[in-house]
Amino acid sequence: MFRHIVLLAWTADATAAQKAEVAAQLGKLPGAIPEIRRYEIGVDAGLNEGNHGLAIVAEFDDVAGYVVYRDHPVHHAVIEEYIKPIVAGRAAVQHQL
Amino acid sequence: MFRHIVLLAWTADATAAQKAEVAAQLGKLPGAIPEIRRYEIGVDAGLNEGNHGLAIVAEFDDVAGYVVYRDHPVHHAVIEEYIKPIVAGRAAVQHQL
């Protein structure tokens, strides 16, 4: 398996509705991109100062499956329409699992 | 389950040996901290510019298990001795799974 992890931080003025909409829109991606084998979206629990706000952990059979996801127009539409307006930081790693 | 994700970025002058030692030292933590239920360490595959270098995905029964890990002296010793000398960035999320 090949895993993609991304952590997103939100702007100070991002609303709860906007953040929830990001999670809802991302949650549709496994239905649109069959290369996704596992897709978990987690909202930060608020235990620690300085954390990012949202985690996405996605698993694919291989690098090629991940690249399909990375470059998929439905994925890009979510990024452009819902994430970019409220994102303040992004950290990512892809690794073999 | 409760999941902790941390992504670490390295300084430009961190050596391959130093980075490998971080992974090796972290890999000992499940043997030292029984609250850890699952512990995965992934080195970034180098596909994308701007990525962080290392991912740690740890799972616990609950928040209390995570807090034991977070505050455990053996964990802190790894952070102080091996991570802090070469870390340039850190992003983290904890979430229910």
Average pLDDT over chain A, rounded to an integer? 98
Name the A residues in 18-47 with CB < 8 Å from any B CB: 40, 42-45, 47
Digitized pLDDT (tens) for each residue of chain B, 97 residues in all: 999 999 999 999 999 999 999 999 999 999 999 999 999 999 999 999 999 999 999 999 999 999 999 999 999 999 999 999 999 999 999 999 9
> DSSP secondary structure string, B52-80?
-SEEEEEEESSHHHHHHHHT-HHHHHHII
Q: What is the pLDDT of residues A8-47, one digit of tens each?
A: 999 999 999 999 999 999 999 999 999 999 999 999 999 9
* Separation of alpha carbons A93 and A78, rounded Å: 20
**Structure tokens, B18:** 């130093």
ipTM of the assembly?
Answer: 0.95
B14: CATH: 3.30.70.100
- Domain of A34 in residue numbering reads as 2-47+54-96
| Interface contact flag, A91 B89, Cβ < 8 Å | yes
> What's the structural domain count of chain B?
1
CA-based nearest residue in chain A for residue B93: A44
Q: What confidence score (pLDDT) does residue B27 get? A: 98
Rounded to 5°, the CA angle A64-A59-B64 comes to 155
